[in-house]
Structure 1
Amino acid sequence: MLDVLVVGDLNPDLLLSGDVVPRFGQAEQDVTATVALGGSGGICAAALGRLGLRTALAAAVGDDDLGALVTQRLADRGVHLDQLQRAAQPTGLSVHLLRDDDRAILTHSGAIDDLDVASACRAIRAAKPRHVHVTSVFLIRALRERGADLLDAARDVAAVVSVDTNYDPAERFDAPAWLLDADVLLPNAAEARGLARSVDVEQAARELSARGATVVVKLGAQGALAVTSGETLRVAAPAPTVPIVDTVGAGDAFDAGFIRARLDGHDLPTQLAHATAAGTLSTRAGGDAGQPTLEDVLGVAR
């Protein structure tokens, strides 16, 4: 039996740092380049595997070299590959231009939007995971349109459902009707404000929890806040134990730390402590390279 089925996106990330502001006219610039596992779904699945959970990923990739690359990266993290979907389109690709504490992302969606939700629902009913985590709702039309089917399938097997919508590239944040029926929502501050149409983060979290969801808002270096049953809890982020190299994927590592602690039966304050520890530790490197083990997380969370 699976612990977690992640449903979402998978692609490689090309991380560029240094002199990354493009200058046209064939001007050559010296940058530092790293290829990492990408896609919120892919990074979170790898982080869950690193934390010792039996994890599979339902995501669409092409039958090409980039698809083979990310598939191998998942296998290296112990992620089960039997729910990966092969699409006719080429595997997606994201290019991250990293500068100080900011970044720009250029994405070729490719196969990302070809996710077959019906296949993911069958996987939930067959594998009976304890937890289903849905990512990148605004990148995958089928999730926006048929996310309710995932909720139904998860409830058929008594699985908890968490959702990290990620950022909306169109910046509309039109929440699908099913979103607030999830058990857990895991936005960052900008996403929470956008989804709730509120400038105040705590008020946004309260509005998003109106139908009973536990809403956990990632606040980066300021930690996290959670709203559940009308109660609000805040935790500070642990101080980084090593220099911050890259924050790409930190939110997905946060999600993984939260899910692991929830499945372990910890209370909400401990869940948040483990989540912030996992997110902070992941900044040792971008993508999946800095993801912590459970022992790492416990050491920092204490």
Structure 2
Amino acid sequence: MSGIDVLVIGDANPDLLLAGDTVPRFGQAEQLLDSAELVLGGSAAIVACGLARLGVRTALAAVVGDDQFGAVVLEGLGAAGVDVSAITTDPERPTGLSVVLSQPHDRAILTLPGTIPTLSADAVRDSWRRLRPRHVHIASYFLQPELAAALPALLDEIATSGTTISLDTNWDPAERWTGLGEVLRRVDLFLPNREEALAIASAVQGRPIPDLDVAGATLSELGCRVVVKAGAEGGQAFEHGSRVAAAPGLVLDVVDTTGAGDSFDAGYLAAYLDAAADEIDRLRWAAVAGSLSVRARGGTGAQATRAELAGVLA
């Protein structure tokens, strides 16, 4: 046994986080920012750091470039306590990069894919066989089309070992939201945010679904538990076509929402691996972890420790 609890699969890249007057005005207008920071980003990397911060033994499978940004990613993950042995380096492609235009309650993201789409099913399979985690979490489905195409067969293989599986697709840049039916039937947990749940349920049904309860119920009928992130409202869980639990978030002064959904995922998965936690506990862990992460800039700057999370929940 490797001692790894969770293998996270997906994207790892720096985020260039810009705050202040971030709505672009073309015509060679020059705008002055309040701040600019280069921080660890990528949904999978932020989830992995959040899990490690909560005391969960975590590894990340991803690809970075042989460049300065790749070094930033590896250094940040290592400092957070994440096992980076499943991260490979591509000498020919640049590390992915996201430029985050941050406002207090919203953000826009410009992403250079770089090495992000190059993670292969074979590399994931090799990492899973070597590390033998208790749980596998997949992030940024739509940024990795090669891996996405191979996921149904790969998930069948992983499931035969008794390993549980979760998925957070994140946003689809093409906004087509297709190809998920066979994948969702093969995962134990699906962790979309509100907008993603509505879009994916509409794509599955072939008609607009504007109601979150209907969307969550629809997606859960595919066989997975659906846990929807709803920002300050917390989270809601659906199983077998019905909502089964909900928990609110915290009321905080928001500094930056980048990565809050990924920290929510980390909180939920940490509780999911705790045999003593029921569904309400899992949602409370998730909602508090997501809420606390908005206290600082960047996805990992204010992620909760297990002691901090326990103190708030108490």
**In structure 2, what is the equivalent of residue 18 of structure 1?**
20
Per the alignment, in what secondary structure is the counterpart of residue 82 of structure 1? coil
Q: Deviations over 1:154-183 (max 9, x none)?
A: 213211100000011111111332223210
In the TM superposition, residue 92 of structure 1 has moved relative to its aligned partner by 0.4
**In structure 1, what is the equivalent of residue 310 of structure 2?**
298
State which of 85, 104, 107 in structure 2 corresponds to 1:103.
Answer: 107
Residues 1:263 and 2:273 aligned together: yes
The range that moved more, 264-273 or 171-180, is 171-180
Read off the aligned partner of 1:249 and give its amino acid letter: G
Contact 2:184 2:223 in 1 (8 A): no
- Equivalents in 1 of 2:9, 2:139: separation in Å? 6
RMSD: 1.4
Residues 1:123 and 2:127 aligned together: yes
Residues 1:168 and 2:172 aligned together: yes
State which of 226, 233, 253 in structure 2 corresponds to 1:243.
Answer: 253
Identity of aligned residues (%): 47
**In structure 2, what is the equivalent of residue 45 of structure 1?**
48
TM-score (normalizing by structure 2): 0.92
**In structure 2, what is the equivalent of residue 182 of structure 1?**
187
TM-score (normalizing by structure 1): 0.96
State which of 33, 54, 59 in structure 2 corresponds to 1:56.
Answer: 59
Residues 1:287 and 2:299 aligned together: yes
- Equivalents in 2 of 1:273, 1:95: separation in Å? 31
The range that moved more, 174-183 or 159-168, is 174-183
- Equivalents in 2 of 1:106, 1:217: separation in Å? 24
Read off the aligned partner of 1:66 and give its amino acid letter: F
Read off the aligned partner of 1:95 and give its amino acid letter: V
Per the alignment, in what secondary structure is the counterpart of residue 147 of structure 1? helix
State which of 212, 215, 227 in structure 2 corresponds to 1:204.
Answer: 215
In the TM superposition, residue 25 of structure 1 has moved relative to its aligned partner by 4.2
**In structure 1, what is the equivalent of residue 205 of structure 2?**
none
**In structure 1, what is the equivalent of residue 243 of structure 2?**
232
- Equivalents in 2 of 1:297, 1:212: separation in Å? 30
- Equivalents in 2 of 1:184, 1:236: separation in Å? 17
Contact 2:7 2:137 in 1 (8 A): yes
Stretches of structure 2 lacking an aligned partner (at least 5 in a row): 203-208
Residues 1:217 and 2:228 aligned together: yes
Read off the aligned partner of 1:73 and give its amino acid letter: G
Per the alignment, in what secondary structure is the counterpart of residue 141 of structure 2? coil
- Equivalent residues in 2 for 1:269-280, closer than 5 Å: 269-280=280-291
The range that moved more, 210-219 or 144-153, is 144-153
- Equivalents in 1 of 2:156, 2:130: separation in Å? 14
State which of 14, 27, 33 in structure 1 corresponds to 2:36.
Answer: 33
Read off the aligned partner of 2:172 and give its amino acid letter: D
- Equivalents in 1 of 2:249, 2:192: separation in Å? 19
Read off the aligned partner of 1:233 and give its amino acid letter: V
Read off the aligned partner of 2:149 and give its amino acid letter: E
Read off the aligned partner of 2:65 and give its amino acid letter: G
- Equivalents in 1 of 2:119, 2:195: separation in Å? 26
Read off the aligned partner of 2:51 and give its amino acid letter: L
The total of aligned residue pairs comes to: 301
Residues 1:136 and 2:140 aligned together: yes
Read off the aligned partner of 1:232 and give its amino acid letter: R
Read off the aligned partner of 1:270 and give its amino acid letter: D
Read off the aligned partner of 1:139 and give its amino acid letter: L
- Equivalents in 2 of 1:25, 1:291: separation in Å? 39
Contact 1:237 1:280 in 2 (8 A): no
Contact 1:233 1:269 in 2 (8 A): no
Contact 1:180 1:209 in 2 (8 A): no
Contact 2:247 2:280 in 1 (8 A): no
Per the alignment, in what secondary structure is the counterpart of residue 59 of structure 1? strand
The range that moved more, 120-129 or 188-197, is 120-129
In the TM superposition, residue 239 of structure 1 has moved relative to its aligned partner by 2.5
Q: Deviations over 1:200-234 (max 9, x none)?
A: 11111111111321100001111111112344134
